[in-house]
Amino acid sequence: MEFVFEKYHGNGNDYLVFDTKKFEYELQGSQIREICDRHFGVGSDGILMGPYEKEDGIYVRIFNPDGSEAEKSGNGISIFAQFLKDHKYVTEDVITINTLGGPIEIHYINDKNGTLNVAMGKVSYMSDEIPVTGESREVIEEAMEFQGQKVITTCLTIGNPHCVIIRDELVKKEVKSLGKIIESDEHFPNKINVQFMQVLNREEIVIEIYERGAGYTLSSGSSSCAAANVAYKLGLTDRKVKVHMPGGTVEVEIEEDGMTFMTSHVKRIGKIITADVFIEEL
């Protein structure tokens, strides 16, 4: 049986979309890992499975390349929204997509060039919501120890967990090495996405990302929103900021009530058809 995947990317953060309306099949963890492998499979930062029709509307499942299921993904949702429009599953200019991390409202700004505005929700710094071990508290500029190294961290959730570390300068080697340690540290029962952030001015920040279940990543929508919220919370930026990443830039705006919006740009790469034997052997 051949399977068809649609491949998109948002600032270098690439996903495969598996259309469950055309294929009534549930990919398993081992299959997802092999498909996402950049040497032995198709290669991607994750797989989006849907659309599922439920009582509360359209639902998508988001999988990391290690086979684990993610609650939310800014780029993933943007890509899936563009996929829905491209394949005429939706015709409206405003839609809601339900995820494991809650419903997300998407506004199509220009569906011809893949520009969307995504309502990512409100953040929480409460440890039991992120989660972070220890007594219930807001995890803001807290010193944590990772393999003997003390690091000042601010942790939060925007439907999925994040740990933001501020640096005067970003060093990719540190992002990859320390990020990997922090991602699965015992402080974080469900693991965590890690962002290293440099503040350029009141309107711009730079981040590099070690993503939970994916590793070093060129860009991330939810990471952008998490870092922007931390920068604003600590008084380092205004409510509207440009978030620069190795793969590109997104704009994040935090409203007075805390609702966070992200303007993203996604691009369709093409269609991929797997060989019969590839899936059957997994």
177 is in an annotated binding site: no
**Tokens at residue 206, please?**
């730079």
Cα-based angle 196, 198, 206 (whole degrees, multiple of 5): 85
Q: Is 12 annotated as a binding residue?
A: no
- Residue 117 in marked binding region: no
Is 213 flagged in the annotation as binding? no
Contact (CB, 8 A) for 280 and 27: no
**Amino acid sitting at position 170:** L
Known binder of ligand: residue 113? no
Residue 10 CA to residue 220 CA, distance in Å, equals 8
Q: Confirm whether residue 221 is marked as ligand binding.
A: yes
Residue 61 annotated as binding? no
229 marked as part of a ligand binding site: no
The annotation status of 74 as a binding-site residue, yes or no, is yes
- Binding site as annotated, residues: 13, 64, 74-75, 160, 193, 211-212, 221-222
- Binding site as annotated, residues for substrate: 13, 64, 74-75, 160, 193, 211-212, 221-222
